[in-house]
Amino acid sequence: MLTTLHKQLLNDYQHNFPLSPRPYQDIAEALGVTEAEVLSTFTELNDNNFISRIGPVIPPNHIGVSALIAMAVPEQHLQTVADKISAHPEVNHNYEREHRFNLWFVVIAADAEHLDALIDAIEQETSYPAMLLPMLDDFFIDLGFKLDLNND
């Protein structure tokens, strides 16, 4: 069960997390609780897998080269192929989607050569062609998200 403090930490600190020597203390003061409570509540959120991390979101292609890749994989092979792909550290998101192209994953590589080599390796390991969809322009990338946590 999420407490008010859980909800506040989830919703109110997706942006503008304090860049100060004691950020958790600053949050505690803003919310009228103690730093220890803030620390233990963030630890709970981490342990319960409700947050991925506290950290920076960096727009794509400022560091390294990234691309979205789609594959059409027969259902009976999907888990095996997905596992092979997920095993690469350069792969972050890897999802099944409802489409003929049913496997969608994002890779991030140091440079274009590394990206090409990685895609070649993935195609060889899985024996399915990879459809490469690099980002050309981003109109809105944030991932900050107002959660409605009241009706759960």
Partner 1 sequence: MIEARDRQLLEHIQLGLPVCSKPYAEIGRLCDMPETEVIERLTRLKQQGLIKRMGVIVKHRQLGYRANAMVVWNVPDNLIKQLGGHIGRFPFVTLCYQRPKQPEWPYNLYCMIHGKDRATVLKQLEQLVDACGLSSFDQEILFSKRCFKQRGAVYKNTAVTHG
**Residue 38: which residues within 8 A CB-CB, separation 6 or more?**
5, 9, 24, 25, 27, 28, 31
Least distance (Å) between residue 63 CB and partner 1: 5
E strand or H helix at 2, and its extent? none
Angle at which helices 23-31 and 4-12 cross, to 10°: 120
Is 144 in contact with 13 (CB distance < 8 Å)?
Answer: no
E strand or H helix at 72, and its extent? none
124 vs 150 by CB, closer to partner 1 = 150
Least distance (Å) between residue 12 CB and partner 1: 9
**Residue 116: which residues within 8 A CB-CB, separation 6 or more?**
none
127 vs 143 by CB, closer to partner 1 = 143
Least distance (Å) between residue 124 CB and partner 1: 19
52 vs 127 by CB, closer to partner 1 = 52
Least distance (Å) between residue 78 CB and partner 1: 8
Among candidate residues 32, 41, 52, the one with its CA nearest the CA of residue 9: 41
15 vs 32 by CB, closer to partner 1 = 15
